[in-house]
Chain A
Amino acid sequence: MLTSFLNAGKWLWHLYVKRRFPLFAVSTIVSFFALALFGENLSPFPPNQVDLGARFSPPFWQEGGSIAHFLGTDGLGRDILSRIMIGARNSCIVAIFSLFLGGFLGTVIGIVSGYFGGIVDGILMRMGDATIAFPIILLAILLSIILGPSLLNVVAALGLVLWARYARVIRGEVLSLKERDFVALARVAGASDLRIMVKHILPNIYNTLLVLLTLQVGWVIIVEAALSFMGAGLPGPDPVWGSMVAKGRQYVTSAWWVPFMPGMAIAIVCLSFNMLGDWLREVLDPRMRQVE
């Protein structure tokens, strides 16, 4: 028991020192997920509790601020910290589902396109180019106007835009993988196309996929915020980071903390995911693994 504990400690130390483990980023991400799960239990105030007596209370370090409202309050006297904590859940849900959808579609299309090549590849990749060339925010707004604003539609819109980014990178990877000898040998052994794609090609793109997913989390949170900012995001009274910025922007000169605090939350989370992604890319780089 003790030795395994020590070993785990050694491993963590090795990760941190030798491989420059991004401790800051990962702790931010862990707290982000914790907030998404337990935000209600942790937040000091209910997010929608109006207290007109405490309107525009500044953050605690400014004159007139109080420790109770740590990051201040908005125009209705709602506690900003609590609203950010609760808002994490929506951002998290949107990020996870849209990345899952986009990643799934992108992987399937990327593998099929790269593996079969020819006309299939031509059509799928032109579709991807069109998707990437189209202004994404506009596309998402269009979708949410047509389908009406809802969580599902935001996820669908983001997923449909995201797939092309994955498909493009994964197709490139598949193009080189399918020329490798182990694919030829699998074919000699009589493996079907499906078997080759699932058993021989897919496992070799997990790393790329993981890095891509992590790098896109930040992007998804920003786009979701932008959608909310423009009123095409999640509906309802519950706080969303993007719409908190949007609704707070009129107070930017008088009560700067109202839009600034949720904006800061967005920035920190995005930065953390990007740092994690960069680190993963380095650690999972096959050139660094093959040496052993």
Chain B
Amino acid sequence: MKPILDVQKVKKYFPVERGAIFRKVAGQIKAVDNISFSIVPGETLALVGESGCGKSTVGRLILNLLPVTGGTIFFSGIPLEEMDRSQRKIYRSAVQAVFQDPMSSLSPRMRIREIIAEGLVINQSLSRNEIDSKIQQVLDQVGLPQDAIKHYPHEFSGGQRQRIAIARALIVDPKLIILDEAVSALDVSIQAQIVNLLRDLQREFHLSYLFIAHSLGTVRYISDRIGVMYLGSLVEIGPAEEIFTNLHHPYTRALIDAAMPSHPDFVREDVVLAGEVPSALNVPEGCRFNTRCPFAKDVCRQVEPEMFEIGPGHFTACHMLDGAPEAGFFLN
């Protein structure tokens, strides 16, 4: 299948400036460093990683909220920067977003009707009646009462606000929705509601999701493929179950082992990845994980590993490809 979104060798560096009057660029924060992946219609790709790994930046680059430093993002085969006016207009409806904080993502002074209709009002010329019937439709789809349109965001609970945010994205018939930690801020019982809603909507409208998250439980439930990011670059990407059961990168292992167990019987003692993520201002030479990796050899400290295909659609960037690390291999 032809990918709907194709991210090719994308980089995003933020310059760090020093000096009060004469600004000098003192360094580069490599938030995203040479990332490639693609998403086909109807699929969910999850990007996981710890804070500062650049996963949210990738989402903002795709949404065109930030310019890329290098590389290209293709949508339906067309590079983003080469789009003309009409293609841009299509792109703006086709790619939507739902963010983490439902408090901050809805204008506090707008009524729900206005919030949901914004994308329509800007991009399409519809009559009031047509807009109203579309709003009615999406409110039904996300499970909100019809009289919600008259109210303001602060009158709703967190889960309902996230439904509003989803309705707002849904109304313009998107192809791809960037879900940036879209359920992380919600209570456990509400999280399940929203994740199920997202799954139902995906089936109904054949949507693609880029699901940016740090909670592996949710990711395992919702995604078809998973990309694991560390310090601005992908260390492993592949089919979701492969990543959980047949993973190769030591960092993927560490991340999965660090997830909280769902039952006291699953508790493994003393499975610890030592150390902390280095600063993105000072990415380690060679493999960026070498400072924390218990297997690091000399080659890891000198040569940056490239992505190798180790199974169908399963890529990883590690010099130590001989065997997959077993669960709990970080035993102290």
Question: Given A180-B104, A290-B154, are A185 and B168 also a contact pair (CB < 8 Å)?
Answer: yes
Which residues of chain A (179-236) have a CB below 8 Å from chain B? 180-182, 184-191, 195, 199-200, 203-204, 206
In chain A, what residue has the closest Cβ to B106? Answer: A182
Is A188's CB under 8 angstroms from B96's CB? yes
Contact of A204 among B89, B105, B108 (CB under 8 A): B108
Given known contacts A186-B118, A189-B92, A292-B154, A200 and B99 CB-to-CB distance under 8 angstroms? no
Q: Is the CB of A189 within 8 A of B106?
A: no
- With A181-B99, A184-B65, A184-B99 as known contacts, state yes or no: A190 contacts B92, CB within 8 Å: yes
Quote the shortest CB–CB distance from B302 to chain A (angstroms).
Answer: 40
> Which of A190, A191, A292 has the largest number of chain B CB atoms within 10 A?
A190
**Residues 69 to 114 of chain B near chain A (Cβ within 8 Å):** 88-89, 92, 95-97, 99-101, 103-110
Interface of A is mostly: helix
- CA distance in complex: A123, B328 (Å): 58
Number of residues in B with C-beta < 8 Å to the partner? 30
A292 and B95 CA atoms in complex are apart in Å by 33
**Closest Cβ of chain A: how far from B120's Cβ, in Å?**
9
* Chain B residues near A186 (CB-CB < 8 A): 107, 118
- Judging by beta carbons under 8 Å apart, are A189 and B122 in contact? yes
Is there contact, CB below 8 Å, between A204 and B109? yes
**Is the CB of A287 closer than 8 A to any CB of chain B?**
no
Q: How far is the CA of A180 from the CA of B107 in the complex (A)?
A: 9
B97 touches which of A188, A195, A290 (Cβ 8 Å): A188
CB distance from B13 to the nearest CB of A (A): 18
- Say whether A289 faces chain B, with CB atoms less than 8 Å apart: yes
Q: What residues on B are CB-neighbors of A182 within 8 Å? A: 104-107
- Nearest residue in A to B91 (C-beta to C-beta)? A190
Are A199's CB and B110's CB within 8 A?
yes
Min C-beta distance of A206 to chain B, whole Å: 8
Mask: chain B, 43-86; 1 = CB below 8 Å from A; 0 = not: 00000000000000000100111000000000000000000000
Residues from chain A with Cβ under 8 Å of B110 in the complex: 199-200, 203
- Picked from A188, A190, A195, A290, the residue with its CB within 8 Å of the CB of B65 is A188
Q: What range describes how many residues of A lie at the interface?
A: 20 to 34
Q: What is the count of residue pairs linking A and B with beta-carbon distances less than 8 angstroms?
A: 65
A290 CA to B92 CA, complexed, in Å:
31
Report B-chain residues with C-beta under 8 Å of the C-beta of A292.
154-155
**Cα-based distance from A292 to B152 in the complex (angstroms):** 12
Q: Identify which of residues 119-160 in chain B touch chain A, using a CB-to-CB cut-off of 8 Å.
A: 119, 122-123, 154-155
Cβ A184 vs Cβ B109 within 8 A: no
Q: Do the beta carbons of B123 and A190 come within 8 Å of each other? A: yes
Residue of A nearest to B172 (CB): A189
Contact residues in A for B96 (Cβ distance below 8 Å): 188
A286–B60 CA distance with the chains assembled, in angstroms: 28
Residue of B nearest to A292 (CB): B154
Expressed in whole angstroms, the Cα–Cα distance for A289 and B92 within the complex equals 34
A286 to B103, CA, bound (A): 13
Q: Which of A195, A199, A289 has the largest number of chain B CB atoms within 10 A? A: A199
For residue B122, which residues in chain A have a CB less than 8 angstroms away from its CB?
A: 189-191, 195
In the assembled complex, the CB of B178 is this many whole angstroms from the nearest CB of chain A, namely 9
- Closest CB-CB distance, B116 to chain A, in whole Å? 11
A104 to B309 Cα, complex, angstroms: 61
The digit string for A270-292, where 1 denotes a CB below 8 A from any CB of B, is 00000000000000001001101
Question: Is the Cβ of A181 less than 8 Å from the Cβ of B65?
Answer: no
Known contacts A188-B95, A290-B154; is A204 also within 8 Å of B107 by CB? yes
CB distance from B149 to the nearest CB of A (A): 17
Inter-subunit contact B105/A185 (CB<8 Å): yes
Chain A residues whose C-beta falls within 8 Å of the C-beta of B109 in the assembled complex:
203-204, 206
Q: Please give the residue numbers on chain A whose beta carbons come within 8 Å of chain B beta carbons, in ascending order.
A: 180-182, 184-191, 195, 199-200, 203-204, 206, 286, 289-290, 292
Contacts A188-B96, A189-B118, A190-B92 known; 11 new A-B pairs at CB < 8 A: A180-B104, A184-B65, A185-B99, A185-B168, A188-B97, A189-B92, A199-B107, A199-B110, A203-B109, A286-B108, A289-B154
Which B residues lie at the A interface, using CB under 8 A?
60, 63-65, 88-89, 92, 95-97, 99-101, 103-110, 118-119, 122-123, 154-155, 165, 168, 172
26 pairs, A vs B, C-beta closer than 8 Å: A180-B105, A182-B105, A182-B106, A184-B60, A184-B97, A184-B99, A184-B105, A186-B107, A186-B118, A188-B63, A188-B65, A188-B92, A188-B95, A189-B123, A190-B89, A190-B119, A190-B122, A190-B123, A195-B122, A199-B107, A200-B107, A203-B107, A204-B107, A289-B154, A290-B154, A292-B154
